[in-house]
Amino acid sequence: MLVLDALRVRYGPLEALHGVSLTFAQGEVTAVLGRNGAGKSTLLRAVAGYLRASSGRIHWQGSDITRAPVRRRADAGVMLIPDEGGVFRTLTVRENLDLFAAGRELTPALDAFPDLRTLSRRRVTLLSGGEQQMLALSRALLAPWRLLLVDELSHGLAPVLATRLYDVLAALAAAHPDRAVVLAEPDPREALALADRVHVLRRGELAATGSPADFDPATL
Amino acid sequence: MFYAGLALNGLAIGCVAALAAVGLLATYRVTGVFNIAFGSNAVFCAYVMWQCVRVWHLPLAVAALLVLGIVAPGVGLVLERFVYRPLRRSGASGLLVATLGVLVLQLGLVFLLWGGRSYVDAPSLLPAGSVRLPGSLTLPYATIVELCVVALIAVLLTFLLRATRVGLMVRAVVDDRDLASALVPADRLAAGGWAFGSFLAGVAGVLWAPIYHLDPYSLTLTVLETMGVAVLARLTSLPIAVVAALAIGIGQTELTAVHPAARWQGLVDAFHTNLFVLVLFAALMVVPRLGIRDSGAAGGGLHRQGARRTSRVDHISRLPLGALSLVLALPLFFDPADLRASLAVPALAVVFVSLVVATGYAGQISLGQAGYAGLGALFMAKLAGAGVPWLLALFLGPLLVVPLGWLTGYPAIHRRGLYLALTTFATAAVVARFVFAQPVFVGALVVSRPRGFTDDHWFYALELACLLLALLLVRSLHTGPMGRALVAMRDSETAAVSAGIDVRRMKVFVFACAAGLAGLGGALTTSAAQAFNPTDFDPVQGLVWFAAVAVWGVDSALGAVVGAAALVAVDVGTVSGVSSLLIGIGAVLLGRFPGGIGAAVRRAGDWAVRPVERPLTRRLSPAGRAVARAAAARARERPVS
């Protein structure tokens, strides 16, 4: 479904991904683990089209999207929920949801996160980090996607809240077995529980691949 | 005392200002960029309009359609595609320099195409005649139309942004273009926003030109001065901007009726003709914060990352210094006319070096160096007139500017980015309008050189000595603990504070130094020309200087000297406008080549003298490896003493 072939990405003179080849299968939840600076976010941003690959190929559903702009990848069903900046901060919650839904019903998001209903007229800048993250995740509930890339969903969140967001994500993945979900996480516990397949990045290279059972959260 | 007739006249002025302010705000709302080039864009469109009607003799309606329907939005589209889109991820400073670049570029274009001539016969779109009101008052139709245009733009824009889906998408693009690009056609929306903003600039220019003279510098400056209204509205509220503009316009004409004692009349006159400048200055002092995301590092993004040569100057960087001094000495052997032209080089170089100190080393954007330069020249002339020996006055004058720089450095403590840039610009504008334009201050100046320096050779040598002095001073600011502290402040104020650097004192000190240096440069400029010429120290000139220094590498003192030489050479060797055009293009491209020409040269230099790479691991024969192992083992066994 999504095939990365010797993908290299550089920021100016520094190369962050040194030729990563990976395959993400349909209907699977894949966790990409690794420490800070391992290249997880770079990988996701390159797939979503925010970073240009300096060499290598990205194939999505059989077509080469290595040079495609963000908008074309989004139309093809690729959705990135970044660890920060996944919401429009100067707009209200309602306006954000309207933009995400693009004319569709808002109920899926409002049902999953009832808090957003009461906050609907508030500016996003005034929300807490958890509320902002809920809003960002709502995008996946409102608009159709075929490949969901989630970057550090638990970034800076209280464990209770992180668990809640992961529950929503798990339900979402279970409801659509024909789609693919990729999670990038430095903290393996939640991701291991959710994932069907695990890749570990270390210093911009693929260090290990396996099923969640192969990995012990304590040693990662 | 309130006169209704004067108030109606004031309404006309206020309307025009409101038009510019609303245009500026609207552009900010739909593009997210505070467009300093709004004024030059308006001037450019006004000149094209003049060309269409007065030279090509097109009917007024056709010309208006051509200018407002095609030229103005077209300019916006081109700028979005080639200037602002590549910069969409750069911070406030990058955008500021880009807009400055566009301003300088458009002014250069006007100078190149129309020779910078001013025209009084700009075609007017507005109907002549006026409405009679009770009490023998008249209200011109033009004012009514302008009021309607302002109201229409304000209402339409508010409705579009608040109540329509396109408006929501535009706001999303302004908020976060990366995120928006996945949801909406962001590039097309941004292009539309720029086309609209440029259209508004065109409307402002076409309506303004017949009211004021069609003149590149003064019209740009007039539009820039209405930024005070936009600042009062904190860049957010359209109604406040409209009301403030109308109020200032009315206040301006009402002041003409004030007749105090004769000795104060000059001051009152200066007040009422320059109320907008005063409001800009006062607004920047009073309004605590703009409704703008401007959290980027003060001068961040202008200098090359990793350019940290604050340690001792090594022999490699002495090489260009030697070459440069040879080149700078060359004019001593030129023929008299060329030498006369070259006199401007060291003077301008000193001013440029002052910009390097403020912006390059300390990260404080200063658009106001023209004001300090002019004051330095003025003080010198006054001192010389008062009987102080000329050579002493040449240094004493700039020294008197230092306290002023100290004083104006205080507002800089809590301001950064665009806000600081506007404040420094407003300072220069106030000085230009209230000092340089007042005959009381600039009348009867003694600026002729004394015996011994009337010969250009000797004066040029003196200028070179001054430049050397300035460079030595700058070097002492850039090396050692002082230089490190300045660079620390430039990179991160927070980190600098936590490292124990007194950032407040540092900023004020830097502004004082830069002001003194600029004053010296101004004094030299005036002495070189042997005349105090206010246009040399025009605030818009300060913008051009800033852009030029940025292009040559804002943290490179040598680059500044070369830049000054190049600027003068291009000005002398070609028609006017070419230098501005080149600087503008350079500044616009700066976002893609951070650090400018200075950094590019330094990179090339680093590459040329890079150490010859040696294999990191030496290959050893099996015997050699055995020896190495034994040596390592012995080292381990040896007890730690």
Query: Is residue B161 scored above 50 in pLDDT?
Result: yes
- Interface residues of chain B, partner chain A, Cβ below 8 Å: 168-169, 171-172, 174-176, 178-187
**How many Cα neighbours within 13 Å face the side chain of B45?**
31
Coil, strand or helix at B452: coil
What does the pLDDT average to over A184-204? 86
Q: In whole angstroms, what is the distance from residue A3 CA to residue A53 CA? A: 14
Asked if the Cβ–Cβ distance from A71 to B186 is below 8 Å, we say: yes
Asked if the Cβ–Cβ distance from B172 to A85 is below 8 Å, we say: no
pLDDT-derived band at B639, boundaries 50, 70, 90: low
Query: Do residue A157 and residue A204 come from a single domain?
Result: yes
Picking from B85, B164, B171, B183 by the largest number of A CB atoms within 10 A of its own CB, the best residue to mutate is B183
Residue A10 lies in a domain: yes
Picking from B179, B184, B610 by the largest number of A CB atoms within 10 A of its own CB, the best residue to mutate is B179
Q: From the CA of A85, how many Å to the nearest CA of chain B?
A: 7
Residue B454, token pair as written in the block = 């009337």
Amino acid at the residue B324: L
Give the long-range contacts of residues A195-199, CB within 8 A, separation 24 or more: A195/A29, A195/A30, A195/A31, A196/A28, A196/A29, A196/A30, A197/A25, A197/A28, A197/A29, A197/A30, A197/A31, A198/A30, A198/A31, A198/A33, A199/A22, A199/A30, A199/A31, A199/A32, A199/A33
Using a CB-CB distance cutoff of 8 angstroms, which residues of chain A are in contact with residue B186?
71
Give the pLDDT of residue B87.
Answer: 84
Query: Is residue A9 scored above 90 in pLDDT?
Result: yes
Element (H, E) at A33: strand A29-33
Report helix angle B596-608 to B557-573, nearest 10.
Answer: 120
pLDDT-derived band at B99, boundaries 50, 70, 90: very high
Asked if the Cβ–Cβ distance from A70 to B181 is below 8 Å, we say: yes
Asked if the Cβ–Cβ distance from A91 to B186 is below 8 Å, we say: no
Query: Do residue A157 and residue A183 come from a single domain?
Result: yes
Asked if the Cβ–Cβ distance from B178 to A70 is below 8 Å, we say: yes
Using a CB-CB distance cutoff of 8 angstroms, which residues of chain A are in contact with residue B176?
85, 88-89
Least confident of A17-21, A171-175, B412-416, B480-484: B412-416
Domain boundaries, chain B: 4-129+138-286, 321-332+339-414+445-571
- Residue A181 CB contacts under 8 Å (≥ 6 apart), including other chains: A28, A29, A30, A147, A148, A150, A169, A172, A173
DSSP structure class, residue B593? S
CB A5 within 8 A of CB A57: yes
Give the pLDDT of residue B93.
Answer: 76
Using a CB-CB distance cutoff of 8 angstroms, which residues of chain B are in contact with residue A51?
none
For residue B577, list its beta bridge partners: none
Q: From the CA of A111, how many Å to the nearest CA of chain B?
A: 22
Give the pLDDT of residue B638.
Answer: 62
For residue A85, list its beta bridge partners: none
pLDDT-derived band at B299, boundaries 50, 70, 90: very low
How confident is the model over B538-568, as pLDDT tens digits?
Answer: 998 899 999 999 998 888 888 899 899 999 9
Q: Which residue has the higher pLDDT, B325 or B404?
A: B404
Q: From the CA of A75, how many Å to the nearest CA of chain B?
A: 8
Picking from B175, B236, B290, B592 by the largest number of A CB atoms within 10 A of its own CB, the best residue to mutate is B175
DSSP structure class, residue A58? E
Task: Find the CATH number of the domain harbouring A35.
Answer: 3.40.50.300
Query: Do residue A61 and residue A150 come from a single domain?
Result: yes
Asked if the Cβ–Cβ distance from B175 to A79 is below 8 Å, we say: no
Least confident of A20-29, A44-53, B596-605: B596-605
Asked if the Cβ–Cβ distance from B178 to A50 is below 8 Å, we say: yes
- Residue B284 CB contacts under 8 Å (≥ 6 apart), including other chains: B228, B231, B411, B419, B422, B423, B426
Asked if the Cβ–Cβ distance from A102 to B168 is below 8 Å, we say: no
pLDDT-derived band at B478, boundaries 50, 70, 90: confident
Query: Is residue B69 scored above 90 in pLDDT?
Result: yes
How many structural domains compose chain A?
2
Q: From the CA of A218, how many Å to the nearest CA of chain B?
A: 35
Residue B302, token pair as written in the block = 């202008």
Query: Do residue A66 and residue A167 come from a single domain?
Result: yes
* Nearest CB to A99; choose among B181, B183, B187: B183
* Nearest CB to A70; choose among B168, B169, B182: B182
Residue A197 lies in a domain: yes
Q: What is chain B's percent helix, strand, coil content, to nearest 5?
A: 75, 0, 25
For chain A, what is the mean pLDDT? 89
Q: From the CA of A121, how many Å to the nearest CA of chain B?
A: 14
Q: From the CA of A29, how many Å to the nearest CA of chain B?
A: 22
Asked if the Cβ–Cβ distance from B168 to A91 is below 8 Å, we say: yes
Asked if the Cβ–Cβ distance from A95 to B178 is below 8 Å, we say: no
How confident is the model over B329-382, as pLDDT tens digits?
Answer: 888 888 888 888 889 999 999 999 999 999 888 888 889 999 999 999 999 999
For residue A185, list its beta bridge partners: A33
Q: In whole angstroms, what is the distance from residue B106 CA to residue B543 CA? A: 13
For A86, name the nearest residue in chain B, comparing CA atoms only. Answer: B179
Q: Give the whole-number percent of chain B exceeding pLDDT 90.
A: 34
Report H helices in B209-237.
Answer: 216-225, 227-232
For A103, name the nearest residue in chain B, comparing CA atoms only. Answer: B165
Distances from the Cα of B92 to the Cα of B5, B221, B365, angstroms: 44, 22, 11
* Nearest CB to B183; choose among A48, A85, A100: A100
**Residue B504: φ, ψ to 5°:** -60, -50
Asked if the Cβ–Cβ distance from A91 to B171 is below 8 Å, we say: yes
Asked if the Cβ–Cβ distance from A95 to B171 is below 8 Å, we say: yes
Coil, strand or helix at B508: helix
Asked if the Cβ–Cβ distance from B176 to A102 is below 8 Å, we say: no
Query: Do residue A21 and residue A115 come from a single domain?
Result: no
Distances from the Cα of B514 to the Cα of B369, B487, B509, B546, angstroms: 8, 16, 9, 13
Query: Is residue B62 scored above 90 in pLDDT?
Result: yes
Query: Is residue B598 scored above 80 in pLDDT?
Result: no
Residue A181 lies in a domain: yes
Nearest to A5 by CA among A13, A36, A17: A17
Asked if the Cβ–Cβ distance from B183 to A85 is below 8 Å, we say: no
For B293, name the nearest residue in chain A, comparing CA atoms only. Answer: A90
Using a CB-CB distance cutoff of 8 angstroms, which residues of chain B are in contact with residue A88?
171-172, 175-176, 179-180
Query: Is residue B315 scored above 50 in pLDDT?
Result: no
CB B396 within 8 A of CB B544: no
Q: In whole angstroms, what is the distance from residue B399 CA to residue A5 CA? A: 65
Asked if the Cβ–Cβ distance from B168 to A98 is below 8 Å, we say: yes
Asked if the Cβ–Cβ distance from A79 to B185 is below 8 Å, we say: no
Give the pLDDT of residue B618.
Answer: 53
How confident is the model over B8-24, as pLDDT tens digits?
Answer: 888 888 888 898 888 88
Query: Is residue B609 scored above 90 in pLDDT?
Result: no
* Chain A to chain B Cβ contacts (< 8 Å): 50
Using a CB-CB distance cutoff of 8 angstroms, which residues of chain A are in contact with residue B178?
50, 70, 85
Residue A99 lies in a domain: yes
User: Side by side, which strands form the sheet with A147-151?
Assistant: A78-81, A147-151, A180-185, A29-33, A197-202, A205-210
Q: In whole angstroms, what is the distance from residue B367 CA to residue B518 CA? A: 12
For A74, name the nearest residue in chain B, comparing CA atoms only. Answer: B182
Asked if the Cβ–Cβ distance from B176 to A79 is below 8 Å, we say: no
pLDDT-derived band at A177, boundaries 50, 70, 90: confident
Residue B613, token pair as written in the block = 């790479």
Using a CB-CB distance cutoff of 8 angstroms, which residues of chain A are in contact with residue B187?
71
Residue A82 lies in a domain: no
CB-count exposure of residue B434 (10 Å: 0-12, 13-18, 19+): middle
* Nearest CB to A89; choose among B175, B178, B185: B175
Residue B230, token pair as written in the block = 């936009």
Rounded to 10 degrees, the C-alpha dihedral B297/B302/B304/B308 comes to -60
Element (H, E) at B11: helix B4-31
What does the pLDDT average to over B382-396? 89
Residues in chain A, overall count: 220
User: Taking the CA atoms of chain A, what radius of gyration do you get in angstroms?
Assistant: 17
Query: Do residue A8 and residue A97 come from a single domain?
Result: no
Q: From the CA of B171, how many Å to the nearest CA of chain A?
A: 8
Give the pLDDT of residue B233.
Answer: 87
Q: Which residue has the higher pLDDT, A155 or B344?
A: B344
The range of the structural domain enclosing residue A53 comes to: 2-77+145-214
Query: Do residue A35 and residue A98 come from a single domain?
Result: no
Q: From the CA of A74, how many Å to the nearest CA of chain B?
A: 6
Query: Is residue A26 scored above 60 in pLDDT?
Result: yes
Query: Is residue B291 scored above 80 in pLDDT?
Result: no
Amino acid at the residue A20: V
For residue B25, list its beta bridge partners: none
Nearest to A187 by CA among A28, A30, A32, A24: A32
Query: Do residue A193 and residue A154 come from a single domain?
Result: yes
